[in-house]
Amino acid sequence: MSMTVQEEIQKPSGPAAAVVLASGIGTFVLGLVTTLNEASSGVNDFLRFTDDVGPLSGKTIIATAAFFVAWAILGYLWRGREVAWRPVLIATVVLLALGFLGTFPTFFEAFAD
Amino acid sequence: MELTNREFWTFVHGMVLGSMFLLAFTGGLAGLYSLRPEWLTSEGLRERMTRLRWGISAMAVIAWATVLTGTWIVYPWYRESLAGEESAGCEGLQAPSETCSPRDFLLSNVSGDTESWHTFGMEWKEHVAWIAPMLATAAAFVTVYYGRSLAQSPFLRRLVLWLFAGAFVVAGIAGLFGALITKTAPIT
């Protein structure tokens, strides 16, 4: 039985808000580990999950894991719940901006060890 | 006419997956922008939503496939350290070779001022590209979750449009630098 438009629009916002905020968290973690990789040789060594890909392997695995784990946790906490969009969107935009900045070479190279 | 294994995967990463994502964006954008109840019959809305659900979900999968092939298949060939001390293996070359990887070639400056293609272009591309699949996945989930009600809610439609546009912008940055770097120092 297909769902009507009215039923669809009345769906709780929680699951959708969870994935939106998770995309901000994943992006922020990517920017953060990219900058930390530059700032610390210890972090650089830790992020070398494989020799072929180098520290990019750790950065991308950790950022991707942060995205999916944040999505799973928020999705669980907010399942069936109505969540206010405004704070979620403000947090997401701030996290996206910081994450984007953290991937910009001129920025992260300023922290070079 | 033949492609080496490395050329084949570079082609798959950039020309097949990456280009497909960027080209499909305009179709998705038009579909989302025109998803308004006053412009569509109920039959048209049903048909449009089926196309959008599948299209945006496919774009999210393609975005993941693009960054995975780029980082785990193509990038190791780009960053191999072959040239030795003071880029000796790149001396006199006009393009990367078996003794000079694309990264070695760009950093050596043996064919003009090429260093910043790596230190800025590749360094930004290899990181920023990973934002695209996360944003595309969020856009796809919201589209599938709300379905036809996207047409009734300007807020939700704008939300998906912004997520979708964000994915396009970062994929565009990565794609542009990828094309320019490949032109300067191809993986062969």
Question: pLDDT class for B21, splitting at 50, 70, 90?
Answer: very high
Of A6, A30, A104, the CB nearest to B130: A30
Tens digits of residue pLDDT in A28-40 = 999 999 999 999 9
Choose between A7 and A10: higher pLDDT: A10
**CB-based contact (8 Å) between B165 and chain A?**
no
pTM of full prediction above 0.80: yes
Closest CA to A54 of B182, B139, B71, B12: B71
Q: Is the pLDDT of residue A1 over 50?
A: no
Q: Report CA-CA distances (Å) from A23 to A69, A99, B34, B72, B137.
A: 11, 10, 25, 22, 8
* Burial track A61-95 (b if 16+ CB lie within 10 A, e otherwise): bbbbebbeebbeebbeebeeeebebeebbebbeeb
Select the residue from B9, B57, B122, B134 to test the A interface by mutation, using most A Cβ atoms within 10 A: B134
pLDDT in the model for residue B41: 84
Rounded Cα gap, residues A84 and B11, in angstroms: 44
pLDDT in the model for residue B79: 96
Q: Which residue in B has a C-alpha nearest to residue A104's C-alpha?
A: B124
Q: Which residue shows structure tokens 């990789």?
A: A37
| Distance between A20 CA and the closest CA of chain B, angstroms | 6
Domain spans, chain A: 13-111
Q: Which residue in B has a C-alpha nearest to residue A54's C-alpha?
A: B76
> What is chain A's mean pLDDT, rounded?
93
- Any idea how long chain B is? 188
Tens digits of residue pLDDT in A20-29 = 999 999 999 9
Domain spans, chain B: 5-82+97-184
Tens digits of residue pLDDT in B164-183 = 999 999 999 999 999 999 99
Rounded Cα gap, residues B147 and B156, in angstroms: 10
**CB-based contact (8 Å) between B162 and chain A?**
no
Would you say B185 and B110 are in contact if contact means Cβ atoms under 8 Å apart? no
Q: Is the pLDDT of residue A8 over 70?
A: no
Beta bridge partners of B97: B100
Look up residue B102 and give its DSSP letter: H
Would you say A21 and A93 are in contact if contact means Cβ atoms under 8 Å apart? no
Tens digits of residue pLDDT in B82-122 = 999 889 999 999 999 999 999 999 999 999 999 999 999 99
Decide if B149 and A11 are in contact by the 8 Å CB cutoff: yes
Average pLDDT over residues B152-165: 94
pLDDT in the model for residue B1: 78
Q: Is the pLDDT of residue B137 over 90?
A: yes
Rounded Cα gap, residues A79 and B170, in angstroms: 30
**CB-based contact (8 Å) between B106 and chain A?**
no
**CB-based contact (8 Å) between B124 and chain A?**
yes
Q: Is the pLDDT of residue A9 over 90?
A: no
Decide if B127 and A96 are in contact by the 8 Å CB cutoff: no
Would you say A83 and A20 are in contact if contact means Cβ atoms under 8 Å apart? no
Of A5, A15, A23, the CB nearest to B149: A5
User: Could you tell me how many CB contacts below 8 A there are between chain A and chain B?
Assistant: 93
**CB-based contact (8 Å) between B154 and chain A?**
no
> What is chain B's mean pLDDT, rounded?
94
Would you say B75 and B126 are in contact if contact means Cβ atoms under 8 Å apart? yes
Q: How much is the ipTM here?
A: 0.93
Decide if B123 and A15 are in contact by the 8 Å CB cutoff: no
| Distance between B18 CA and the closest CA of chain A, angstroms | 18
Tens digits of residue pLDDT in A101-112 = 999 999 999 999
Tokens of B124: 């930004």
Of B72, B149, B152, the CB nearest to A53: B72
Look up residue B39 and give its DSSP letter: G
Tens digits of residue pLDDT in B30-80 = 899 888 888 878 888 888 899 999 999 999 999 999 999 999 999 999 999
Tens digits of residue pLDDT in A61-85 = 999 999 999 999 999 999 999 999 9
Q: Is the pLDDT of residue A50 over 90?
A: yes
Query: CA angle B103-B105-B108, nearest 5°?
Result: 105
| Distance between B78 CA and the closest CA of chain A, angstroms | 10
Cβ partners under 8 Å of residue B82, min gap 6: B89, B98, B99, B100, B101, B104
Element (H, E) at A87: helix A85-102
